[in-house]
Amino acid sequence: MNFSIKNICCIGAGYVGGPSMSVIALNNPSIKVNVVDLNIKRIDEWNDNNLDKLPIYEPGLKEIIKLCRNKNLFFKTSVEESIAEADMIFICVNTPTKIKGIGAGQASDLIWVEASARQIAKHARSNVIVIEKSTIPVKTALTIKTILNCSDTESNLNEKRFYVLSNPEFLSEGTAINDLKNPDRILIGGDDEKSIEALEDIYKTWVPKKKIIRTNLWSSELSKLTANAFLAQRVSSINSISALCESTGANVDEVAKAIGSDSRINPKFLKTGPGFGGSCFKKDILNLVYLCNFYGLQEVALYWQNVLDLNYWQTKRISKIIVNKLFGTITEKKIGILGFSFKADTNDTRESPSITICQDLIEEGAILKIYDPKVSIYQIESDLKLKEKGNNSSKTNSWEFHQNLYDTAHESDAIIVLTEWEEFSNIDWVRISSLMRKPSWVFDTRRIIDRDKAMESGLKTWIIGQG
């Protein structure tokens, strides 16, 4: 079957669907791209005339939206209609960890993937290419194929023909647009030559052909989980060494540089921090652990579980260090928190180590003064989920939100840098120090501050990975 792709539908207008379809639309002006979502608020935000109100913050995104929106890129809630128009459909929905039932706490919840497949089965026309872009357990394509090809007497679904491909997404938040424009590789898993070629043609408008890797469906699905597991493993490895550096007087950046100069190790992804966050590393490794156990590979499951355990330990040890340095108690002490997103250049807080650390400090009785350049007060409130025992009102006296980093220092005993936002590398420490209660501390979990300047201003400093 030869395909001529004129109309793409992407189900899911989230952190992946929005940016990835924007870049596809930018490079394929003759193709109409509909990005659809059930979430009306999210779609309204994608359509907001004020481009600073897009639902996600990514450098370079609003410029593309400005060029393509309502020309060949559309954000809609009409899921069924857009599916019915499409020659190619991307499934870009969320695949979080299951919270109940079999596999709860480990397996991926495929309810939204399955719902998408059922909507496609019902509303799509025949000979449509269906592409898994969501990260899913290996063998999910089989489930999708089964749903798409099952018979339904009411709508004669069995008469339609679908071609299923796997095309995982490797973008990182904060650099999504650059990652999409200059990908290291495009991975396409499938068994139908013509549909693979049709997808390749979309990417070849801006990605060199040599960067397009073809595999079978299962290799493609498993490669995505494996890539995230390997990346997370590097972070856990360097974080484990950060603790040893603090105990021995070694400097973790010097160690990272020394080992990263070995071309077999390479310097990327060796930055120590408060533990990896983000919506995917934890859930994808949990999923890998679940799959390994499912296939009877307990030792393999344990190996990957350790990457997660080390990450949890790294986050928790930071809260303990802060309490210890502040004379063993932080009750009623004010503490400034710089950064709430899980990394710089994103407003995403999913699995951010800032959440755990803030919760720990509040539990110890501290009053937090939180600032993040892109995360809203509502998001922080929802993440911290503070409820007074016995009633449902939000606890209001344990943290405050500030619009300016200097306001977090007022009468504070400590400042904690939790996200590596650029502006935190240029702080006026003399000004900060003049606002704080003495003795005043700064804890840098990202190794981003100018330590000498902070110390010259009279601050006591603790830098992760440095004795």
Catalytic residues, by residue number, are 169, 224, 280
Residue 343 binds ligand UGA, judged by CB under 6 A: yes
Which region, judged by CB under 6 A, interacts with ligand UGA, from 99-107, 227-235, 318-326, 429-437?
227-235
Residue 282 binds ligand UGA, judged by CB under 6 A: no
- Partner in contact with 271, chosen from ligand NAD, ligand UGA, none, beta carbon below 5 to 8 Å by kind: ligand UGA
3-state secondary structure of 270: coil
Size, binding site for ligand NAD by CB under 6 A: 27
- Partner in contact with 270, chosen from ligand UGA, ligand NAD, none, beta carbon below 5 to 8 Å by kind: ligand UGA
DSSP classification of residue 209 = G
What is the rounded CA–CA span in Å between residue 13 and residue 19? 9
Q: Which residues 255-314 are close enough to bind ligand NAD by CB under 6 A?
A: 279-280
Q: Give least dist CB 17 to ligand NAD, A.
A: 6
- Strands in 186-189's sheet, in edge-to-edge order, are 73-76, 32-36, 7-11, 88-91, 128-132, 162-166, 186-189, 212-215
What is the rounded CA–CA span in Å between residue 251 and residue 254? 5
Where are the extended beta strands (E) located within 190-270?
Answer: 212-215
- Partner in contact with 79, chosen from ligand NAD, ligand UGA, none, beta carbon below 5 to 8 Å by kind: ligand NAD
3-state secondary structure of 306: helix
Residue 228 binds ligand UGA, judged by CB under 6 A: yes
What is the rounded CA–CA span in Å between residue 448 and residue 99? 36
C-beta separation of 366 from 333 below 8 A: yes
- 444 by Cβ neighbours in 10 Å (0-12 / 13-18 / 19+) ranks as buried
Residue 417 binds ligand NAD, judged by CB under 6 A: no
Element (H, E) at 338: strand 334-338
C-beta separation of 190 from 213 below 8 A: no
Residue 169 binds ligand NAD, judged by CB under 6 A: yes
User: In this chain, which of 84, 231, 265, 300 binds ligand UGA, going by CB under 6 A?
Assistant: 231
User: In this chain, which of 3, 9, 10, 14 binds ligand NAD, going by CB under 6 A?
Assistant: 14
What is the rounded CA–CA span in Å between residue 193 and residue 1? 9
C-beta separation of 108 from 193 below 8 A: no
How does strand 441-444 pair with strand 414-417?
parallel
Which region, judged by CB under 6 A, interacts with ligand UGA, from 76-84, 139-147, 275-283, 422-430?
275-283
Q: Which is nearer to ligand NAD, 20 or 314 (CB)?
A: 20
Q: Which is nearer to ligand UGA, 354 or 457 (CB)?
A: 354
C-beta separation of 225 from 135 below 8 A: yes
Residue 312 binds ligand UGA, judged by CB under 6 A: no
- Partner in contact with 183, chosen from ligand UGA, ligand NAD, none, beta carbon below 5 to 8 Å by kind: none
- Partner in contact with 39, chosen from ligand UGA, ligand NAD, none, beta carbon below 5 to 8 Å by kind: ligand NAD
C-beta separation of 356 from 186 below 8 A: no
Give Dmax over CA atoms of the chain in angstroms. Answer: 78
Both tokens of 312, joined, read 């949890």
Q: Which residues 148-187 are close enough to bind ligand UGA by CB under 6 A?
A: 169-173
Residue 336 binds ligand NAD, judged by CB under 6 A: no
Residue 278 binds ligand UGA, judged by CB under 6 A: yes
Q: Which residues 73-92 are close enough to bind ligand NAD by CB under 6 A?
A: 79, 92
User: In this chain, which of 32, 42, 69, 333 binds ligand NAD, going by CB under 6 A?
Assistant: 42
How does strand 334-338 pair with strand 367-371?
parallel
Residue 270 binds ligand UGA, judged by CB under 6 A: yes
Residue 190 binds ligand NAD, judged by CB under 6 A: no
Site pattern 93..132 for ligand NAD (x: CB under 6 A)? xxx----------------x--xx----------------
Q: Which residues 121-150 are close enough to bind ligand UGA by CB under 6 A?
A: 135
User: In this chain, which of 13, 188, 326, 415 binds ligand NAD, going by CB under 6 A?
Assistant: 13
For the chain, the straight-line distance linking the first and the last C-alpha, in angstroms and rounded, comes to: 64
Q: Which is nearer to ligand UGA, 281 or 340 (CB)?
A: 281
DSSP classification of residue 368 = E
C-beta separation of 419 from 341 below 8 A: yes
Q: Which is nearer to ligand UGA, 343 or 369 (CB)?
A: 343
What is the rounded CA–CA span in Å between residue 427 and residue 449? 8
What is the rounded CA–CA span in Å between residue 158 and residue 145? 11
What is the rounded CA–CA span in Å between residue 307 and residue 329? 31
Q: Give least dist CB 147 to ligand UGA, A.
A: 24
User: In this chain, which of 206, 218, 269, 313 binds ligand UGA, going by CB under 6 A?
Assistant: 269
- The residue ranges that bind ligand NAD (CB under 6 A) are 11-17, 36-39, 42, 79, 92-95, 112, 115-116, 134-135, 169, 171, 173, 279-280
- The residue ranges that bind ligand UGA (CB under 6 A) are 135, 169-173, 228, 231, 235, 269-271, 273, 276-281, 342-343
